[in-house]
Structure 1
Amino acid sequence: MYKEYEDDFDRYEELEDNVDEFVCPLMRQGPFGQFMPPFGPGFQGPTQGGPFQGPASGPPSGPPPNFTPQQSAAGGVGTFAVDAGAIRRCTFRFVYIWPDRGRGFWAFLVFVGPRSVAGWRWNGRRWVYFGMDLRRIESFQCF
């Protein structure tokens, strides 16, 4: 289903186009095929004190900033340096993520859980919904 290429972004994009869109396991499908919050209307989710936000909230209306930020020297502090409390302030904002393997990328986070994040990832052409384990993030920077 998913195969990661560390330095070959073009091959990743080819695979991505052939894979069904990622759906957060917490989401449930509604009667008309749309995805709905897992706990019903009015649930006060863990981010921003509002309802759970997922693919139904839609991606940002435009592309991310047109620059690649420099990773700070303190960026690679070590394994398990990124925690939910640190990255939560980046919810509903553009964030540049440097994973522990592969190239960095722009994202727009809509969910931060105790061990993972989810949101929209820019693949160079469009926004694609994704989820990621916090242990796989080496560093990040919010904008």
Structure 2
Amino acid sequence: MAFMPPTGPQGAQSPPSSPPPQAPPPRPLGASTLAVDPGAISRCMFRMTYVWPRSGPGFWFFPTFVGRTSVAGFRWNGFFWMFTGIDLQRIDAFTCV
């Protein structure tokens, strides 16, 4: 399934105008759950957010849409922001700054 940028009165959402911080934040303490709660990650909407996936390296993310089972927004690839979506079950931990 392809994720499309959410639209609204302002049109398509735009990525941040600057890169994320150079260093990742400290990983939150506590046990992982089976899936990230949509209500918990929704507080990070339109904020720089660091995501630790269940597999693979962590990355900076700028969420612009939170659904029941997924989150979409812009992921920093080291050079520029690119639009992407992530299943909430694939996220181990996150923190917004």
The TM-score range, normalised by the shorter chain, is 0.7 to 0.9
> What number of residue pairs does the alignment pair up?
97
1-structure distance, mates of 2:42, 2:9? 14
Deviation of 1:36 (Å):
7.5
Q: Measure the CA separation in 1 of the matches of 2:71 and 2:9.
A: 13
3-state SS in 1 of match to 2:43? helix
Indicate which of 39, 50, 63 corresponds to 1:96: 50
Q: Is the 8 A contact 2:28 2:94 kept in 1?
A: no
Partner of 1:86: 40
Paired residues of 1:53 and 1:110 also in contact (CA < 8 A) = no
Which structure 2 residues correspond to residues 20-39 of structure 1 after superposition, within 5 A? Answer: 23-24=2-3, 27=4, 37=7
Unaligned 5+ residue runs, structure 1? 1-22, 28-34, 38-50
With a CA cutoff of 8 Å and minimum separation of 6, indicate the structure with the bigger relative contact order. Answer: 2
TM-score, length-scaled by structure 1? 0.61
* 1:72 CA drift (Å): 2.6
Partner of 1:133: 87
Pick the aligned partner of 2:20 from 38, 46, 64.
64
Q: Distance in 1 between matches of 2:40 and 2:33?
A: 15
Greater fraction helix: 1
The C-alpha deviation readout for 1:25-76, integer Å capped at 9, x for no partner, is: xx4xxxxxxx774xxxxxxxxxxxxx3888x2211001011211121331x4
Q: Counterpart in 1 of 2:96?
A: 142
For 2:9 and 2:51, the matched residues in 1 are separated by 22
Q: TM-score, with normalisation over the residues of structure 2?
A: 0.87
Aligned-residue sequence identity (percent) comes to 49
CA root-mean-square deviation = 2.4
Cα distance in 2 for partners of 1:126, 1:139 equals: 23
Question: Higher strand proportion, which one?
Answer: 2
